Structure 1
Amino acid sequence: MSNSPEYHVPALSRGLQIIEMFNRDKRVLNTQDFAEHLGVSASSTYRIVQTLLDMGYLKKVTRNAYELGPQVVSRGFAFLAGRDLVDIASPYINELRDNASISCHLGIRDGLETIYIYRAQASQRLSVNIPLGSRLPCHTNAMGRVLLQQLSDIELNAMYQTLQLDIYPGPHPQSLPELKKLLKEEWGQGFSSNRSDNATAIAAPITNYLGQTIAAINISGADQIMNNQEQFENAKEQLLATASAISRLAS
């Protein structure tokens, strides 16, 4: 492959450099940031930024501020899916199940639903077993709420405007403001937890190199086990360590 300058496309290079500027700490950047990084005037970035907007690689936040667009996320997820997310995560989830002796699951979001795409079932009689392919409303389970946490207020409003949350019994959130409050609290603590049908689940995010959530894993056990605070904390710490290990491979 030639490195000759005659084959170099400056506009393409600048567009890719703009995308590469975003990371965990820099999620929103403005036109002046782009210009300073590229060493050009702000006006000279206009066509490049507009092209990235039109193609979905950037998304406008305010008049001159941008975040990565849906194409970056979807392309990144497609690459990860090509490597097979289950193949990447399953050894770690199996090890978590073996160490904690509690069932574990892997899930992704499809609209308002959590889809269970892998399970590692514990052998105990009281183990929790959610069948593969199960779909549950996101707001009613710990993995689903982890998957909702990165959505903006605007996105949540659009998604839940026609859904009556109180048709699902408590302790699930009974309104959108209640759901938003819970999502904020759980995001701050780094995990979600949910109790239903005499079982408790704890969930943590699987993230890519930008810190964007692409999947979630949980550890789910009978209340006879999870009501013990020491066992709950031990399970939570093992879960968080496993989620971090899988996220490093997804980056």
Structure 2
Amino acid sequence: MSDTEPNYIAPALQRGLAILELFTPQRRTLTLSDMAKALGIGRASAFRLAFTLEHLGYLDRTGSDGKAYRLAPRAMQLGYHYLSGLDCAEVAIPFIDALRDSTQISAHMGVRDGTEVVYVYRAHSHMTLSSNIAVGYRLPAHATAMGRILLSGLSDDAIAQLYTGVRLDRFSEATAVTLTSLIQQVAADRARGWTLNRSSFVSGIVAIAAPVRDHRGAVVAAINLSGPSAVMDTPATLDHLTAKVADTAASISRQLGWTAPAQHID
């Protein structure tokens, strides 16, 4: 920033935005005194700023005496508009590349289109035996790791409706070929938060997938690691790689605005 640029800053707007930033999950309401103290301004100035923000729909009064303020729905819309403008794949690319680099195994991102998973990004590994699936490739969701974890974002009823009249082809011994078995598999995937396929399409290839969620918690994509069973398929290695995939998916989800629900300990 040059020496002249600060001259163009509007102090009132700066303070108004600063008031909005004072609200946090731990501090949901503020009084005029709270605002004035936090910003180092007089109470009269805090009142004018709060009145303006209330008039514009960014703050609401709360409390029995109406002396406290809280964020109004219009303030939330600013965040939602930002999050809805994020391109999921664009956000995910550096994370998927880092996953590939740290494991030396091919990593991918896919989205669901009906009963198929469509590959939208690929971070290729230089292993002799590795996944050769290209961007744009489509595979049946019911028989793939990414496809099943994408289905885990649907309810059982929604899965049943999606697959009404659809033939479930067998690609390996682990493939669900009935709607009942598919719903059972997806329910187990949903409970775990990840899924694993062995030799689902190519013999000797293992795939581990986890869901990517948006700010609402909806499953909007999936990522995976896909590589040779000779490298991946030992208990210790699978545990390590599964954690890496799950952590990477969670990191991407957080960038899209998702907040994991708090864990309750009985």
Q: TM-score, normalised by structure 1?
A: 0.68
Structure 2 CA distance for partners of 1:155 and 1:123, relative to 1, 3 Å:
same
SS of residue matched to 1:3: helix
Paired residue for 1:222?
A: 228
Q: Does 1:158 align with 2:161?
A: yes
Paired residue for 1:101?
A: 104
Which is richer in helix? 1
Paired residue for 1:90?
A: 93
Structure 2 CA distance for partners of 1:82 and 1:5, relative to 1, 3 Å:
closer
Structure 2 CA distance for partners of 1:222 and 1:80, relative to 1, 3 Å:
farther
Pick from 92, 112, 115: which aligns with 1:112? 115
Structure 2 CA distance for partners of 1:85 and 1:175, relative to 1, 3 Å:
same
Cα offset, 1:129, TM superposition:
2.2
Structure 2 CA distance for partners of 1:148 and 1:7, relative to 1, 3 Å:
same
Paired residue for 2:133?
A: 130
Structure 2 CA distance for partners of 1:79 and 1:164, relative to 1, 3 Å:
farther
Paired residue for 1:3?
A: 52
Paired residue for 1:232?
A: 238
Question: Is the Cα–Cα contact under 8 Å of residues 207 and 224 in structure 2 kept in the other structure?
Answer: yes
Counterpart Cα distance in 2 of 1:86 and 1:148: 19
Counterpart Cα distance in 2 of 1:199 and 1:4: 57
Equivalent position amino acid for 1:84 in 2: D
Cα offset, 1:83, TM superposition:
2.9
Question: Is the Cα–Cα contact under 8 Å of residues 131 and 226 in structure 2 kept in the other structure?
Answer: yes
Aligned length: 192
Unaligned runs of 5+ in 2: 1-12, 14-50, 58-71, 258-266
Paired residue for 1:140?
A: 143
Residue-by-residue CA offset, 1:171-197 (whole Å, 9 max, x unaligned): 210100000101111111110111122
Counterpart Cα distance in 2 of 1:7 and 1:190: 42
Q: TM-score, normalised by structure 2?
A: 0.64
Q: Does 1:201 align with 2:204?
A: no
Supply the RMSD in Å over aligned alpha carbons.
2.9
Cα offset, 1:94, TM superposition:
0.6
The percentage of counterpart residues that share the same residue type is 35
Equivalent position amino acid for 1:231 in 2: T
Paired residue for 2:218?
A: 212
Residue-by-residue CA offset, 1:96-127 (whole Å, 9 max, x unaligned): 10111110000111111100000001111112
Question: Is the Cα–Cα contact under 8 Å of residues 168 and 174 in structure 1 kept in the other structure?
Answer: no
Counterpart Cα distance in 1 of 2:148 and 2:54: 49
Structure 2 CA distance for partners of 1:120 and 1:152, relative to 1, 3 Å:
same
